[in-house]
C-alpha cells in the first residue's frame, strides 16, 4: 500500500491562481486509499476514553461513521440549517466569503459526554470552532479533533488553541 499522501489528488490554481486544491475524492474512490485514511484517522484515537463522535455534513460523515462503527461509539451529525427534524441548537459562523449556519439536535449530546470531532479537512478552523461551541453549549466536552488533512498555512489551529488537534496529513501552504 502506498503512503496516504499519494492518494490525494492536488489540483493547482483551483479555485483561484496560487491555490493548490487537495481533493479528498481521489482518496474515497480508491478502496485502499479509503481504508488507509480511516485506519490512520482511527489510530489517532487509540487508547482514548470518549463517549461519542461528532462530524459535520458531509465529509465528516464519510470518515466519522466508519470510525464510530469500528469503535462501537455513537455518531452525531452536524447538519446545515434546516436539515434536522427535531429541536436544534444552531450557530452562525464566518466563512472566507460570507457566513454559514450549522445545527445539532439539542438532545444529541448529554451533559458531561466526552466528544471527538472528525472531519476531512481543517483549513481556517472556523467550522470546527463552531462545532466546539455547539457541543460545549449542550454540556459536552470536546477532547479531540481529528482531520485527514490540514492546510497549515491557513492557521486553523490558532482558532482551536487549548484543544487536542491531530491531522494525518499536514500541508504547509493554503
Q: Which residues are catalytic?
A: 59, 96
Residue 24 vs residues 1, 12, 29: alpha-carbon distances, Å: 18, 14, 9
- Cα diameter, the chain: 46
The owner of cell 493554503 is: 174
Closest CA to 107 of 83, 137, 87, 82: 87
- Residues 142 and 133: their CA atoms lie apart, in Å, by 9
Q: Could you tell me if 105 and 86 are in contact, meaning their C-beta atoms sit under 8 angstroms apart?
A: yes
Q: State the CB neighbour count (10 A cutoff) for residue 47.
A: 4
Q: In what order do the strands lie in the sheet with 88-95?
A: 88-95, 98-105, 75-80, 52-56, 114-122, 141-151, 165-171
Instruction: Please name the residue that has the C-alpha cell 483561484.
Output: 16
All 3 cell numbers of residue 121?
A: 479537512
Amino acid at each position: 500500500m502506498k503512503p496516504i499522501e499519494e492518494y490525494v489528488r492536488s489540483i493547482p490554481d483551483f479555485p483561484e491562481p496560487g491555490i493548490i486544491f487537495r481533493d479528498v475524492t481521489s482518496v474515497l474512490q480508491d478502496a485502499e486509499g479509503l481504508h488507509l485514511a480511516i485506519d490512520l484517522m482511527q489510530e489517532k484515537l487509540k487508547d482514548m476514553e470518549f463517549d461519542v463522535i461528532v462530524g459535520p455534513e458531509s465529509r465528516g460523515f464519510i470518515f466519522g461513521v466508519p470510525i464510530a462503527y469500528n469503535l462501537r461509539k455513537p455518531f452525531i451529525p452536524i447538519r446545515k440549517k434546516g436539515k434536522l427534524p427535531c429541536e436544534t441548537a444552531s450557530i452562525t459562523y464566518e466563512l472566507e466569503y460570507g457566513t454559514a449556519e450549522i445545527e445539532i439536535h439539542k438532545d444529541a449530546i448529554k451533559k458531561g459526554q466526552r466528544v471527538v470531532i472528525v472531519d476531512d479537512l481543517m483549513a481556517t478552523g472556523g467550522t470546527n470552532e463552531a462545532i466546539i461551541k455547539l457541543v460545549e453549549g449542550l454540556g459536552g466536552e470536546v477532547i479531540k479533533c481529528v482531520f485527514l488533512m490540514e492546510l497549515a498555512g491557513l492557521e486553523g489551529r490558532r482558532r482551536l488553541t487549548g484543544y487536542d488537534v491531530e491531522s494525518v496529513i499536514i500541508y504547509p501552504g493554503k
